[in-house]
Structure 1
Amino acid sequence: MFKNIKDSQITISELMLPSHSNFSGKIHGGYILNLMDQIAFACASKHSRHYCVTASVNKVDFLNPIDVGELVTLKASVNYTGRTSMVIGVRVESENIQTGEKKHCNSSYFTMVAKDENGNNVPVPGIILNSKESIRRFSRSITRQEHAKNRSNDFNSSEFQIKDYLHLIENKNAKIEFDENH
């Protein structure tokens, strides 16, 4: 079974309140992450028609701060479907409601897994790729997964060779005090 991406896309907007701010008066990143996780869950659950759990979050870069009083809009869309998992792309934008100025605050990718009532993984419907953008996003998800797998293998503790990575550390803000015999 295959479903159209647009059928499970979700957009939510929320006014940022003082209770959402950190000590510097900007909206707390943890609060935004919570909203992102909620919309990813809603999008994945809507697509799969099952309860979903977050398996991983890929790359959360906060590009622009969000101020109290701004309207934050989150958009979620299924970018990739595997057998039981989905990659949900989440975009966060803020808008100054007085000036109308909009800022892209971050984009991230949530891997969500569909579960049955007993907590077992269940197959999810595939997605219909009907635009250049949807094919780009699907392909990008595959590439991101392959890079993550390679990164994990390169730094596997039993395979890791210090000598292969010392050049990376040389001009960084770190000092090595390590006795290889211990």
Structure 2
Amino acid sequence: MNNKRELTLRFLAEPGDVNFGGKVHGGAVMKWIDLAAYACASGWSSSYCVTAYVGGIQFQAPLFIGNLVEVEARVIYTGKTSMHLAIDVIGCDPKQCHRVTTSSCIIVMVAVGEDGKPVEVPHWEPITAKDKRLEDMAKKLMEMRKHMQDELKGAAEA
């Protein structure tokens, strides 16, 4: 993986990560997603980054104590000060290593300077067909978020 555009965190799910049902709870997964997004976005932008949006988290399969967890983050779109990242959480029993995507989402990070104000980020240009599809998806999601915000604002004013 490109060390600036993509990053993978790897670790074992621990007993403190599980819920009362014996599976890793969603809050732990969301924390891991945020950590991977921060590390990836900071590497890309060379700046401190903050989370601006997390959308469409899909919990597709459970994780268990002792699972090897991989949280893959990759930049899929850059704006002036923001970066959209695709995140996939993959789990497997380390004895078998049958990898299963357990969660995925899109997260938007904003680069900020020491004064706490947004700073410009390097532009990312998609090259492969897959990269172009991911960038298109990020743009469509931006449009959907704007539409949702407009709808919510209209409903609140009514």
**TM-score normalised over the length of structure 2:** 0.93
2:155 aligns with one of 133, 157, 160: 157
Q: Deviations over 1:128-159 (max 9, x none)?
A: 21111111111110111101111222232256
Which runs of structure 2 are paired with 1:26-175 in the superposition (5 Å)?
A: 26-155=23-152, 156-158=154-156
TM-superposed deviation, 1:8: 2.7
Task: Describe the SS at the equivalent of 2:37.
Answer: helix
Corresponding residue for 1:179? Answer: none
Corresponding residue for 1:167? Answer: none
> Share of identical aligned residues, percent?
32
Unaligned runs of 5+ in 1: 161-182
Task: Describe the SS at the equivalent of 1:59.
Answer: strand
**TM-score normalised over the length of structure 1:** 0.81
- Code of the residue aligned with 1:138 in structure 2: it is E
CA contact (8 A) 2:4 2:40 kept: no
Q: Deviations over 1:22-57 (max 9, x none)?
A: 111101111111011011001111111100000010
Corresponding residue for 1:175? Answer: none
CA contact (8 A) 2:5 2:75 kept: yes
CA RMSD of aligned residues (A): 1.4
Q: How many residues align?
A: 156
